[in-house]
Chain A
């Protein structure tokens, strides 16, 4: 997993609530047996017209947001299906940070396993970020995971909460399974105490 530390990048505003994982990566792409290559299908049904051309209305296709790696959205982002293909697609497309008032639990959890940082902010703070993105073409945010702060060049300074353990894993690109297996003795002891095995 690629470590994530400080990140100053273009912001893409997706002014929608309840963006579900079926929209992030539609079902026809879940048949792949790989973990990679999902970025080309990200938001497929919104991003492409029926003839396969880009939908110019969709925010991902607007040239001013090309190359954005911070996605700003409204509440309950990532709801619905548990498909980890959704964070795979977002990360593969180039997103590293997601900001919304709330995220669905399973999606939120899946993000951390894939080097994506989901940041929860108050609804009013998210509203302010949408306004700033609209007011300043080429709007960028600097996300500092180590210090849990978000700043911009226009005087904004916010702090966000992130669980210390998850931050540690993201900063260092650590693998959960290896960490758990360091506790193998505890697992074996639990199994023995419960007559498992």
Chain B
């Protein structure tokens, strides 16, 4: 059998297509099609180029935006935080000096790097994509091999348009059946992380397969792939299909000869008979709306469950971690999740800051008001999402319900800008990490989907979305 006839998985095909140089026992030099850059993990990389007198090899293959630090309030005001301003100004200067396209603060396409890539059609099936951000796997939803890198690697990509990589092992996560009433893509991925653990995917590239994945919209697939890293996997992919092609058709940066591209992309899915290094199967019917109770995304339960007792866990290391998490979260074992009150609600992020997420939240909020004492913000993932939401009247639903409607950015997902929790505050958040202090020192984060976050804003406590009275 000829080498090209050996059945291959999708990630192996993309890998093979990008090998510049492979040598036994060494990292492969892998060509990078698209490099996305933001203000936080790039300044030292550009400085490294300057110190060594190196150039950016292919400036047209790097695209930059500002998202992590940017204020989400009035953009006509100057950036109040001088250190954030310096970081944003540094990116502007670097992009100018090295000839890189930047979607700056006032650009209509500014937004979270993982939201704008797909919506502009920069992200395409079969590409190798990197970004100095661990949530780069988001782009895998379109059938790209996409993963997060460190700043030294950002510098390496800028200088060489390649990356040194070991070929990842392949992990198929097959989800059969259909999600039940009230369960969303966010619940699906939280459930998977809970089952796989936060390190279950380490060393692997995940390919999500099965009927439940196939029936997800493109944005829902992005939510799933986005959180692959929370299970330890650097990359997570979904095979491109008609939904992918329809999503991409007409986007600004897709290939001019779209039909030729479709023909190429159609050959990407895993061949029949190809084998994965490992396969795990799940049934979507088992997945109920999820909520985290602890300080990592794997510490998650069904919404109708109670806060677990660390003593009930099998592993002593897990027991210890759970006890520490409960102390930080100020929760007692046996407390029903739906009885936990919230002070703040955050709807947004690269996980759940797209138009479908905002529609889901708005559907819950329609005709309701945010509970007294609860502060809630909605932060669209990009300028495009913001305009689309406003065209559909979602912004009015939010503001009439008493939520704040903000400008696009990462915002309270990582609280590098002024949007953050005060010590002791508890938040229903549609973001991806419930680490200690992630949303502000001393803040307590519960990860949920957009509808459950919206319902918590109205009720003042967590709610089983399956019992929500939609108006």
Same complex origin of A and B? yes
Chain A residues close to B by CB (< 8 Å): 15-18, 20, 22-23, 26-28, 30-35, 45, 50, 74-76, 79-85, 87, 102, 104-106, 109-110, 113-114, 163-165, 176-177, 180-181, 183-184, 186-187, 190-191, 194, 196-197
Chain B residues close to A by CB (< 8 Å): 20-21, 25-27, 29, 31, 40-41, 43-44, 47-48, 52, 54, 57-58, 68-69, 81, 83-84, 86-87, 90, 132-134, 148-153, 155-156, 159-162, 164, 166, 198-199, 202-203, 229, 232-234, 296, 317-318, 320-321, 324, 414-416, 423, 433, 435-438, 441
**Could you say which of A28, A104, A180, A191 has the most chain B C-beta atoms within 10 Å of its C-beta?**
A180
Instruction: Give A53 Cβ to nearest chain B Cβ, in Å.
Output: 15
Instruction: Give B322 Cβ to nearest chain A Cβ, in Å.
Output: 10
Contacts of A74 in B (CB 8 A): 317
Q: Are B160 and A18 within 8 A (Cβ)?
A: no
Q: Are A165 and B433 within 8 A (Cβ)?
A: no
Contacts of A87 in B (CB 8 A): 150
Q: Are B198 and A177 within 8 A (Cβ)?
A: no
Instruction: Give B234 Cβ to nearest chain A Cβ, in Å.
Output: 5
- Expressed in whole angstroms, the Cα–Cα distance for A102 and B197 within the complex equals 13
Instruction: Give B99 Cβ to nearest chain A Cβ, in Å.
Output: 14
Instruction: Give B113 Cβ to nearest chain A Cβ, in Å.
Output: 12
Q: Are B52 and A177 within 8 A (Cβ)?
A: yes
Tell me whether A80 and B151 are in contact in the complex, defined as CB-CB below 8 angstroms, given that A105-B203, A181-B160 are known contacts.
Answer: no
Contacts of A35 in B (CB 8 A): 44, 47-48, 151
Contacts of A27 in B (CB 8 A): 414-416, 438
Tell me whether A187 and B31 are in contact in the complex, defined as CB-CB below 8 angstroms, given that A26-B441, A105-B234, A180-B162 are known contacts.
Answer: yes
Instruction: Give A173 Cβ to nearest chain B Cβ, in Å.
Output: 13
Q: Are B44 and A34 within 8 A (Cβ)?
A: yes
The one of B54, B229, B324 in contact with A177, judged by C-beta atoms closer than 8 angstroms, is B54
Q: List 24 A-B contacts (CB under 8 A).
A: A18-B198, A20-B296, A22-B414, A22-B435, A23-B437, A45-B441, A76-B232, A81-B433, A84-B132, A84-B152, A102-B202, A105-B233, A106-B148, A110-B151, A113-B150, A113-B153, A176-B156, A180-B159, A180-B160, A180-B162, A181-B160, A183-B20, A187-B160, A187-B162
Contacts of A105 in B (CB 8 A): 202-203, 232-234
Q: Are B134 and A187 within 8 A (Cβ)?
A: no
Q: Are A82 and B133 within 8 A (Cβ)?
A: yes
Tell me whether A31 and B416 are in contact in the complex, defined as CB-CB below 8 angstroms, given that A76-B198, A82-B150 are known contacts.
Answer: yes
Q: Are B437 and A180 within 8 A (Cβ)?
A: no
- Expressed in whole angstroms, the Cα–Cα distance for A196 and B60 within the complex equals 10
Contacts of B54 in A (CB 8 A): 177
- Expressed in whole angstroms, the Cα–Cα distance for A103 and B57 within the complex equals 32
- Expressed in whole angstroms, the Cα–Cα distance for A74 and B318 within the complex equals 11
Contacts of A186 in B (CB 8 A): 20-21, 29
- Expressed in whole angstroms, the Cα–Cα distance for A33 and B234 within the complex equals 25
Tell me whether A177 and B44 are in contact in the complex, defined as CB-CB below 8 angstroms, given that A27-B415, A33-B86, A33-B90 are known contacts.
Answer: no
The one of A18, A109, A191, A197 in contact with B150, judged by C-beta atoms closer than 8 angstroms, is A109
Instruction: Give B467 Cβ to nearest chain A Cβ, in Å.
Output: 33
**Could you say which of B31, B152, B156, B161 has the most chain A C-beta atoms within 10 Å of its C-beta?**
B152
Q: Are B41 and A79 within 8 A (Cβ)?
A: no
Q: Are B232 and A79 within 8 A (Cβ)?
A: yes
Instruction: Give A22 Cβ to nearest chain B Cβ, in Å.
Output: 5
